[in-house]
Chain A
Amino acid sequence: MSSIQTRLACNPADYKSDIKPIWCPGCGDYHVLMSFTRAFAELGLLPEKTVVVSGIGCSSRIPAYTSCYGFHGVHGRSLALATGLKVTRPDLTVVVASGDGDGYSIGGNHFLHACRRNVDITYVVMDNRVYGMTKGQPSPTTEPDFDTALSPGGTGLSPFHPLVIALAAGANFVARAFSGSPNETASILVEAIRHPGFSFVEVLSPCVTFRPDEREWKNRVHPAPVAATNDPGKAARRIMTDDGFNIGILYRGNRLPYQAKAEPRTIDLAELEREFEL
């Protein structure tokens, strides 16, 4: 990312706010927060030039817990906010935090078009395959046989495949991380933020309250056996045929990021008021 503004000698604690997270003990999102602050420190990002944007959900609480600028937006609309922000203020580093419900269901359409537009932002989706904040409803990535009182017998629906969809829609960087390895996740985030264009990082982040079975993910994840490719077809085939637990950078594209063609128009307030006069 060419517009990154940095400083030297940063400590992850510099990027952590004083607000104590209210996630459940054991939640993967604690680790993701740690990865955010470690990645920001490694990049030496200026807090006043960095924005964390989110929608609604457990994962979307992250802006409150970081000490840079933050925007806790409307459900599913974080990418719309982030896109507008980055296009008008290309000097900022914009990182978006979301979850599988917020990002793939309510914000699913924004996800497609954010990949297509390829604006230089980093999109981090903490996927726990459940709506945690609203007490355990199935999300787009929930397995079809997730049988609970809220989904008797399971939904019977095939899960959404976010990484392949991101590739097909034009994302320029696609990676999968695991919250339980915060240093590895931080490294992936560093690469994602540096990479020009729309970077998509799916973080498998267990919901220990409504999906206690996900505590086992730590035994299932493994490094991706092959290095990242810049061929979207090859990447798509690999992702479609993997077990969903391959961790690492899976695709690094070379599409040019979207650039606003003209300088933003500055309008005099009085002139704007006249436009809206009845």
Chain B
Amino acid sequence: MSKAPSGHTVSSPVDLLAIAYRIEADAVQRYTLLADQMEIHNNPELVKVFRDLARAEGIHAEEIRKQAGDIDLVARAERLGRWQKGESPEEVDLGSAHYLMTPWHALELALAGEKRALGFFTSITETAKDPKIKEMASEFVEEEAEHVNLVYRLMRKYSKPADTWAQDLDPPISQD
């Protein structure tokens, strides 16, 4: 039995699968929310980026669910409870969203989430005593490292916006 950085007790590989599933499911929720925001604010380019990210996380969640076989990971994750220490590692900070943000910024947010997830599973590999948990956590580390690289590759498609990206020539109201 070991304590995950989230405060959850990981007493078996199934617990770890449930936590991994929840990480992906929470990320799907956040990316979908961001895509919805951008849809409302008529930014179709970002809608696509966030929907693609949500879809990718959803695929990961489904893969984890399949790995669990007949075990109901959703129920297991619910029994484990909410994240007791802060937020889910891969969740995007909704407060960082901006109505003028670009795909590059969206990917920057995604990268931060992937790096947190990588750090999360790495810390489990370092602290877990059960070899099965350690082995499974190592597999997740490899996967998350791949995700980090994938986001870096995607970021190369977009050039970094100029520092004035948030400057709005027609702001919501003139404050000066």
Q: Which residues does A use to contact B, with CB under 8 Å?
A: 9, 11, 13, 20-26, 28, 30-31, 34, 38, 42, 135-136, 148-150, 179-184, 186-187, 206, 208-210, 215, 218
Q: Which residues of A contact B83 (CB under 8 A)?
A: 183
**Docked CA distance A21–B78 (Å):** 26
Q: A22-B40, A30-B37 are in contact. Are A181 and B95 (CB under 8 A)?
A: no
Q: Report chain A residues within 8 Å CB of B84.
A: 183
Closest chain B residue, CB of each to CB of A10: B78
Measured between beta carbons, the chain B residues less than 8 angstroms from A215 are 95
Q: Are B78 and A31 in contact (CB under 8 A)?
A: no
B76 to chain A minimum Cβ distance, whole angstroms, is: 12
10 interchain residue pairs of minimum CB distance: A25-B97, A26-B97, A148-B175, A20-B36, A135-B173, A25-B37, A25-B99, A30-B94, A180-B95, A183-B83
B163 at the binding interface (Cβ < 8 Å): no
Q: Is the interface of A mostly helix, strand, loop or mixed?
A: loop
Q: Which residues of A contact B38 (CB under 8 A)?
A: 25
Rounded to whole angstroms, the CA-CA distance of A22 and B37 in the bound complex is 7
Kindly list chain A residues whose C-beta atoms are within 8 Å of the C-beta of B62.
Answer: none
Q: Which residues of A contact B97 (CB under 8 A)?
A: 25-26
The answer to whether B175 and A20 have CB atoms under 8 Å apart is no
CA A210 to CA B174, docked complex, whole Å: 10
Query: In this complex, what residue of A is CB-closest to B176?
Result: A149
Q: Does B146 contact A (CB under 8 A)?
A: no
Docked CA distance A186–B86 (Å): 11
Supply 15 further A-B pairs (C-beta < 8 A) apart from A9-B75, A11-B78, A182-B87: A20-B36, A24-B41, A25-B41, A26-B96, A26-B99, A135-B172, A136-B173, A149-B174, A150-B173, A150-B175, A180-B95, A181-B86, A183-B84, A206-B95, A209-B172
Complex interface: chain B residues within 8 A of A150 (CB): 173, 175
Q: Is B45 an interface residue (CB 8 A)?
A: no
Q: Which of A25, A26, A209 has the most CB of B within 10 A?
A: A25
Which of the listed residues B39, B75, B93 has the most CB atoms from chain A within 10 Å of its own CB? B93
Question: For the complex, what is the distance from the CA of A9 to the CA of B75, rounded to whole Å?
Answer: 8
The answer, yes or no, to whether B112 is at the interface (CB within 8 Å) is no
With contact pairs A20-B39, A21-B40, A22-B40 given, residues A28 and B173 touching in the complex (Cβ less than 8 Å): no
Contacting pair A26 B98 (CB below 8 A)? yes
Q: Looking at the complex, which one of B34, B87, B173 makes contact with A181 (CB distance below 8 Å)? A: B87
Q: A41's closest neighbor in chain B, by CB?
A: B78
| Closest beta carbon of chain B to A129's beta carbon, Å | 15
Residue of A nearest to B39 (CB): A20
Considering the chains assembled together, what is the distance between the CA atoms of A20 and B13 in angstroms?
A: 37
**Distance in Å: Cβ of B78 to nearest Cβ of chain A:** 7
Give the CA-CA distance A269 to B41 in the complex, in Å.
48
CA distance A180 to B98 in the complex (A): 15
Whether a CB of chain A sits under 8 angstroms from the CB of B82 is yes
The reply to whether B95 and A31 form a contact with Cβ atoms under 8 Å apart is yes
What are 7 A-B residue pairs whose CB atoms fall within 8 Å in the complex?
A: A9-B75, A20-B39, A26-B97, A31-B94, A42-B82, A149-B176, A183-B84
Residues from chain B with a CB closer than 8 A to the CB of A218 are 93, 95
B49 at the interface (CB under 8 A from A): no
| Contact assessment for A210 and B78 in the assembled complex, using a CB-CB cutoff below 8 Å | no
Distance, CA A102 to CA B62, complexed state (A): 44
Q: Compute how far the CA of A26 lies from the CA of B98 in the bound complex, rounded to whole angstroms.
A: 6
Residues in B whose Cβ lies below 8 Å from that of A186: 82
**CA separation between A206 and B96, bound complex, in Å?**
11
Cβ distance A194 to chain B, nearest Cβ, rounded Å: 16
Q: Which residues of chain B are near A25, meaning CB under 8 Å?
A: 34, 37-38, 41, 97-99, 101
